[in-house]
Structure 1
Amino acid sequence: MWPQMDQENLTNGVENNQTDCPSIDDFRNQVYSTFYSLITLLGLVGNGFALVVLIRTHRQSSPFHVYMLNLAVSDLLCVMTLPLRVLYYVKKGEWNQGDFLCRISSYALYVNLYCSIYFMAAMSVTRFLAIVFPVQNLRLMTENRARLVCLGIWVFICFSSSPFLMSGQLKDPVTNKFKCFEPPRADGVKRLVMLNYLSLVFGFILPFVVILVCYAGIIHTLLSRKHTARRNVGTGSKAIRMIVIVLLTFLISFLPYHIQRTVHLNFLSRTDTTCSEKIAVQKSVVVTLCLAAANSCFDPLLYFFSGEGFRNRMSSMRRSNMSNHADRLNQLKPITCAEFVEGQQLKPS
């Protein structure tokens, strides 16, 4: 369902076959290597810490907890492949990690991208039901059903993104160097345009509409039930924080990328473009894909500020660690002379 391409390298193939425009390789290599390194660091720290907290406090599980756990796993799987991209661009577009890792590193980025969108949609529906239909929510939203939803999302996204596993490393006939994330041939652009529209509708627009409908219902309910909202200040504030963080993630990461990808693919079909236009579009590819990959850095904010009891989970884990540490210290504490004498007196003769 998703286009069989890696957007970040649609900067060389088709356009350079049409005109000899200046290359943006230096710009591309510097931006990708810098931003992917930063995203890797922040993503590993933020999502790694969140995953530890969620696993250590699994006894306090809820449907929302299940979605947070799966979102953190998705983000970690993605950021663990980003160092391969960093290495590729540091070496100025030379791939030495083999065909399998080339396929996996491209595949993982897009699995994370669309899993994040769908998990956010599921979390929004969960919050919507909890606020708008609180009685029915107790019956509808259970942990087992949340796990089934997560399983369905994983299967759907992994299967839909499988075209990325079909293309691996390529050997450049000019330099004899292996390449990865390279663009398709010119004769495949029309097919990619069709595939892009499918992914745009089912991967972005549909879940985004669901999210907007849920948020409209939440806001309407909170405004119309003032007394109830006052009694449930915590639930309302968590919902508002989630709305703000999710919408910012969509506006910063997902929306620019999908708009630019659609514009770029249609731009490739034109023959009346100038070099300056092509360079501008190519650079926008680099910027928007970095923003899309950065979604894994925003998700820890979602756990901390809107997750059900996430900060309480952190406090509970901290208290548990302190208690365990105190117990170990008591076990290792040396015996005083008085305690030794008292123990000797208590021994049977």
Structure 2
Amino acid sequence: MNNSSYNGEEFCNITYNHGVMPLVTVYSLVLAIGAPANLLTLCLSVLKIWKKNVLSVYLFTLSLSDLLYMGTIPQWILYVRNHNRWTQSDTACQLTGFIFFNNLYISILLLCCISVDRCLVVLHPIESQWRRRRKTAVMICVGVWLLVMVTHLPVFFLSGVKSGKAKNDTCFETIPMPRLVAMFNYARFCVGFCIPLFILAATNLLIFRRIRASPCLNLREKMKVKYLAIAIIFIFLCCFAPYHIILLSRAIIFSLYKETCWFEEKIYTASTLFLCFCTINSAINPILYMFSCGSVRQELKRDFQSIRDRVTGRSNRSETYILRNGQTLSVYRMEQVTSEN
């Protein structure tokens, strides 16, 4: 790889010819699995929101963001098949890249919101029933969207995400990176990855400790909570850690060396692969947070049972309550906490 210049601007002659089919396969699978899964999650969330379920507000927003991103996956497939050459307009590149990175960090922040919300339910089961409000959850989700979008605006529209002729017609891959992007990468690693990872780890640890000490749950239910907490952290690390480590390393090299093309050449293939890993999270979220949730399956059964009872003229039996450790908890409530956490 040689360094070149275009109108006095230095750029790196990087070509991508490795792993085209694996990337196309991953993007295609994410679209094929994630689109219907998120669409179903969206519908289920609406039904649960109608029943005043606060957690479903976050799940609805997460699925909406994932579906919006999946509408751009065909663009990424064409981009990869064309060996990372963008053949469409600059505006299309900016919009596609803007949607992708917005979804990336909206998803990360919403995953934190979901974990915090579940932690509150487990640690304060009685108080959370009247302190948690759908209106508050909606405001938090709107705030997350606005925060991420406003933060990314200057990076995408001031740093030239469409590299043009001088940079091999790539899209959003500014190589070598402008100073603004390099500084932003430090913030993305710390605020967009490290802090959310700490929140996810801390909240899931608190959830597991409280559930493990609960006399209302059997060993099987406690192990389910443990493995779900491990799965959440493991998937988060697999999907987001490699890409953010690449971001940090690029920023560090930019800060230490004046010429960085030698490094960009070495990590370009890995960077493209790890960027693809981030998209897998969009297909996994519905399976992890909705379809693995026992209470969702129970509620669907009750809904069908309710419809059948109305047809046959029968009425459902009211929920029973038990007294444990001086606190009044519904049996269904404890089952819901277990299955949703």
Shorter-chain TM-score range: 0.7 to 0.9
Q: Secondary structure at the match of 1:25?
A: coil
* Map of 1:62 onto structure 2: 53
User: Is the counterpart of residue 199 in structure 1 residue 185 in structure 2?
Assistant: no
Higher helix share: 1
* Map of 2:270 onto structure 1: 284
Q: Secondary structure at the match of 2:18?
A: helix
| Aligned counterpart for 1:83 among listed residues 64, 74, 78 | 74
1:195 Cα deviation after fit: 1.5
Q: Secondary structure at the match of 2:126?
A: helix
1:313 Cα deviation after fit: 4.3
In structure 2, runs of 5+ residues without a counterpart are 311-341
Please, what TM-score do these two structures have when normalized by structure 2? 0.75
Q: Deviations over 1:98-142 (max 9, x none)?
A: 232211110111111111111111111111111112222123212
1:257 Cα deviation after fit: 1.4
User: Is the counterpart of residue 227 in structure 1 residue 220 in structure 2?
Assistant: no
- Measured in 2, the distance between the counterparts of 1:256 and 1:137 equals 36
Letter in 2 for 1:113: L
1:264 Cα deviation after fit: 3.0
Q: Secondary structure at the match of 2:76?
A: helix
- Measured in 1, the distance between the counterparts of 2:121 and 2:4 equals 49
Go from structure 1 to structure 2 and tell me whether the alpha carbon gap of 1:60 and 1:158 turns closer, same or farther (over 3 Å shift): same
Please, what TM-score do these two structures have when normalized by structure 1? 0.74
8 Å Cα contact 1:44/1:79 also seen in 2:
yes
Go from structure 1 to structure 2 and tell me whether the alpha carbon gap of 1:62 and 1:27 turns closer, same or farther (over 3 Å shift): same
Letter in 2 for 1:196: N
Q: Secondary structure at the match of 1:52?
A: helix
1:84 Cα deviation after fit: 0.8
- Measured in 1, the distance between the counterparts of 2:118 and 2:52 equals 15
- Measured in 2, the distance between the counterparts of 1:13 and 1:40 equals 37
* Map of 1:249 onto structure 2: 235
* Map of 1:120 onto structure 2: 111
User: Is the counterpart of residue 172 in structure 1 residue 161 in structure 2?
Assistant: no
Higher Cα Rg, which structure? 1
Letter in 1 for 2:203: C
1:312 Cα deviation after fit: 3.0
In structure 1, runs of 5+ residues without a counterpart are 1-11, 325-349
User: Is the counterpart of residue 141 in structure 1 residue 132 in structure 2?
Assistant: yes
Moved more, 34-43 or 284-293: 34-43
* Map of 1:100 onto structure 2: 91
Q: Quick one: percent identity of the two aligned structures?
A: 23
* Map of 1:212 onto structure 2: 201
1:75 Cα deviation after fit: 0.7
* Map of 1:332 onto structure 2: none
8 Å Cα contact 2:115/2:204 also seen in 1:
yes
1:271 Cα deviation after fit: 7.0
Q: Secondary structure at the match of 1:293?
A: helix
> What are the within-5 Å matches in structure 2 for residues 265-284 of structure 1?
265-268=251-254, 269-270=256-257, 279-284=265-270
Q: Deviations over 1:192-238 (max 9, x none)?
A: 33221112222122222122221222222223x331444x986x577
1:270 Cα deviation after fit: 3.9
Q: Deviations over 1:226-267 (max 9, x none)?
A: 31444x986x57744542332122121011211122123323
8 Å Cα contact 1:124/1:215 also seen in 2:
yes
8 Å Cα contact 2:189/2:245 also seen in 1:
no
- Measured in 1, the distance between the counterparts of 2:203 and 2:242 equals 22
Letter in 2 for 1:52: C
Q: Secondary structure at the match of 2:83?
A: coil
Q: With CA pairs under 8 Å and 6+ residues apart, which has the higher RCO, 1 or 2?
A: 1
- Measured in 2, the distance between the counterparts of 1:320 and 1:243 equals 33
> What are the within-5 Å matches in structure 2 for residues 33-52 of structure 1?
33-52=24-43
Letter in 2 for 1:146: A
Letter in 2 for 1:204: F
Counting matched residue pairs gives 303
Q: Secondary structure at the match of 2:215?
A: helix
